[in-house]
Structure 1
């Protein structure tokens, strides 16, 4: 019997950080793999996701390995790390995702995508610091929505609802789901795939098998590994984020904050328009 091949692409969320098991990470993708087919039908699963990956990394490093394996199902969940870099460019994000989505769908694989919550809100940053990150994540989500529809992806709306508001879903770092959160991600991905006729096995359970980390364990993580994570991100992002926050304050005092949202929306529209123009040019050339 031919096995179903499932390749998972993305960053630390898909790698499974926040859901430790047997000295490593499991995560939503591995949980989902167990419920893709009825009993007796094998599933081969490869997790190619890497912590810290951006859309360019998925395109240039993970995608070739995935395509060489010829998967039947490919998940692509990425974009948060792009918003946390001073090099953030929504046109580049859109171009990378369009290439990845198109390559997977063009090979006949079922494509699975998701929009995600913004990191500023999850970290509980002050408003002037959080709003620029939220604006960036909304831009990424808008691109993901549009390109998911264009390439016929099975898409999960994970930017709001209890996945975001229920603190019990998230690990100590506030950026990665805990076991409960990973299980909920897996269950919702399974429901979306089942509704589209692409998942025939049992849905992943949503109740954790292990107790949630204690508050003291969470504080210990933040004081050790967490400070290193923040330091690495701040070295790259903080100077620009402070400038963005200052701009946010200035517009707030002038009552012109809506201009920032309009500029971000215009950037998304321009990015998607550029992709459409490129696609038209390619069709004309052939």
Structure 2
């Protein structure tokens, strides 16, 4: 199949793939998967797109809940991006998380699907209080690359570019990409897939900005921990997730408009 002329694109994953940080639940979420679908539609206006991602899901939950429905849609292209919710849990097993990803890689590629995934940036540079999990990120990235190589999966190496840890590519919670971040992720995936019109512009740094230091930086970290990290940990300790009771926003393959307004997105939840 010529590069970019995919007919059925299915996205599997968690909140990043769902689009959190790019829009909201009132106006609708966009996200990198919706934006990649628009890249694809610019090449092939007939492409159809489904997004099975649900926020809060671990790699194992993505495999259990989304792989079967994805295979049933018979995609010729799929993005599989999961593992961050595993990284942040107190008990993290890199081999287990990567194993779930590899099972999805294996099943989808065996069905004739071109799979693309990505590596994760150094979260310790995004949120200094997250530095203790840096080794987890590096370990998972290494395992993702190895699993992808075994199954012919395309990898967008987002972790190898300093711009991916620029605060402007992240929302205030530092867990979800901002609209600009989602735009860059979509561009990275498009380049990895060698879509016509794609290039390495997504790797270029943003203009310099003033960075908080000293007490200002420390205060910002404490506010972040109280506002975002604390509540997140509290939900986990209670066995709850932000995705409880939620379903995929776009479970069926639907047409994508190549001229869709990215601020509105192509993946709003169907029905009430």
Please confirm whether the aligned pair reaches a TM-score higher than 0.5, indicating the same fold: yes
Alignment of 1:159-198 (within 5 A): 159-194=159-194
2-side partners of 1:177 and 1:228: how far apart? 14
**Contact 2:98 / 2:143 at 8 angstroms: preserved in 1?**
yes
Change in Cα spacing, 1:27 to 1:232, as seen in structure 2 (3 Å) is same
1-side partners of 2:82 and 2:153: how far apart? 14
1-side partners of 2:168 and 2:6: how far apart? 35
Matched residue, 2:7: 4
Alignment of 1:79-90 (within 5 A): 79-90=83-94
TM-score normalized with structure 1 length: 0.66
Structure 1 residue 124: deviation in Å? 2.0
Structure 1 residue 32: deviation in Å? 0.8
4+ residue runs of structure 1 moved beyond 4 angstroms?
37-40, 202-206, 234-237
The Cα offsets for residues 211-238 of structure 1, whole Å up to 9 and x where unpaired, read as xxxxxxxxxxx979x836632325647x
**Contact 1:80 / 1:119 at 8 angstroms: preserved in 2?**
no
Matched residue, 1:64: 68
**Contact 1:18 / 1:27 at 8 angstroms: preserved in 2?**
yes
Which of the pair has the greater relative contact order for Cα pairs under 8 Å at 6+ separation?
2
Of residues 141-150 and 28-37 in structure 1, the stretch that sits farther from structure 2 once superposed is 28-37
Q: By percentage of residues, which structure has more helix?
A: 1
Structure 1 residue 166: deviation in Å? 2.1
Structure 1 residue 169: deviation in Å? 1.5
Of residues 81-90 and 38-47 in structure 1, the stretch that sits farther from structure 2 once superposed is 38-47
* Secondary structure of 2:9's aligned partner: strand
* Secondary structure of 2:40's aligned partner: coil
Change in Cα spacing, 1:6 to 1:82, as seen in structure 2 (3 Å) is same
Change in Cα spacing, 1:39 to 1:73, as seen in structure 2 (3 Å) is closer
Match of 1:117 among 121, 128, 136: 121
TM-score normalized with structure 2 length: 0.70
Structure 1 residue 3: deviation in Å? 7.0
* Secondary structure of 1:75's aligned partner: strand
Matched residue, 2:214: none
Structure 1 residue 130: deviation in Å? 1.6
Size of the alignment, in residue pairs? 213
Structure 1 residue 164: deviation in Å? 2.6
Structure 1 residue 88: deviation in Å? 1.4
* Secondary structure of 1:159's aligned partner: helix
1:108 counterpart = 2:112:
yes
Alignment of 1:1-286 (within 5 A): 4-20=7-23, 23-38=27-42, 41-125=45-129, 130-131=131-132, 133-194=133-194, 199-200=195-196, 202-203=197-198, 227=227, 230-233=230-233, 236=236
**Contact 2:126 / 2:166 at 8 angstroms: preserved in 1?**
no
Change in Cα spacing, 1:30 to 1:223, as seen in structure 2 (3 Å) is same
